[in-house]
A = this chain, B = another copy of it.
Amino acid sequence: MSHIQGRGQCRTCHIRHLSIFARLPEARFEQIQGFHPAVLSFQTDETIYHQGTIAAHAYTLRKGIVKLTKMLPNGRTQILRVLQSGDLFGFEGFADQPYNQTAIALTACEVCRLPLSELNDLKRQHIEIEQAMTNRWLQHLREAEDMMLELGAKKAGERLASFLMRWCEHGPVHNGWVDLPLSRAEIGELLGLTIETVSRFLSDWKRQGMIGEQRGMIQIQDVTGLRELVCSSGSC
């Protein structure tokens, strides 16, 4: 289960520059000094919230990686989004809706739990916060639309190649290697493919020297080669 670590100090938070408070002027923090969201920690595979439950809090990811998933009654699962540090999630409550997805920690995580009513007040009082939240909502929408294009219009190999390129652009790099804390099954759930299909493509590409992998990290060794796979004809 989740473990309450204490209360967050947004002003001095080490990921403040990534959060919705990034652009709030230093002086303005005095006005919100009563705002100290709980900081929770989760272990790998623990659930942060469940689809369908009442959304009384939104969350900001401080550390680790989180997946947002949806499940069909027959058990087939779709990963909707993988979150990184600074991401705001679980904000369905702003439209008085229950959570539309289940949030699960992919690695050990720390999240700030932001009470919706307080966040609503902050949003009203500080235009910077409102703007930041709007930007994030629209960014999520844009990325969801981009993903619909991936899922609806591309084939297995194209989806996988495009996923790898996107992942490696964003991820933090150690010596050219990027952490990939997703199992084959999870990559499949994200891209609408089976474990075996994912494994086959990755193995092929490793054999061809296009990508490398070791201990949960990957590396793209032939960027142009992979880019060509993204979209059979044209530069996607």
Copies in the complex: 2
Cβ 8 A contact of A72, one of B148, B154, B189: B154
A202 to chain B, nearest CB (A): 19
CB within 8 Å of B: which A117-133 residues: 124, 127
Question: What residues on B are CB-neighbors of A91 within 8 Å?
Answer: 138
Cβ 8 A contact of A78, one of B101, B148, B232: B148
Question: What residues on B are CB-neighbors of A154 within 8 Å?
Answer: 72, 76
CB within 8 Å of B: which A57-99 residues: 70, 72-74, 76-78, 80, 91-92, 94-95, 97
Cβ 8 A contact of A231, one of B74, B95, B134: B74
Binding site secondary structure of chain A: helix
Q: Is A17 close to B, CB under 8 A?
A: no
Question: What residues on B are CB-neighbors of A232 within 8 Å?
Answer: 74
| Besides A73-B236, A91-B138, A152-B189, 18 other A-B contacts (C-beta < 8 A) | A72-B231, A72-B236, A74-B233, A78-B152, A80-B148, A80-B149, A95-B138, A97-B142, A100-B145, A100-B146, A101-B145, A124-B127, A140-B141, A141-B141, A141-B144, A144-B145, A152-B191, A153-B192
Interface residue ranges, A against B (CB under 8 Å): 70, 72-74, 76-78, 80, 91-92, 94-95, 97, 100-101, 124, 127, 134-135, 137-142, 144-149, 151-154, 189-192, 231-236
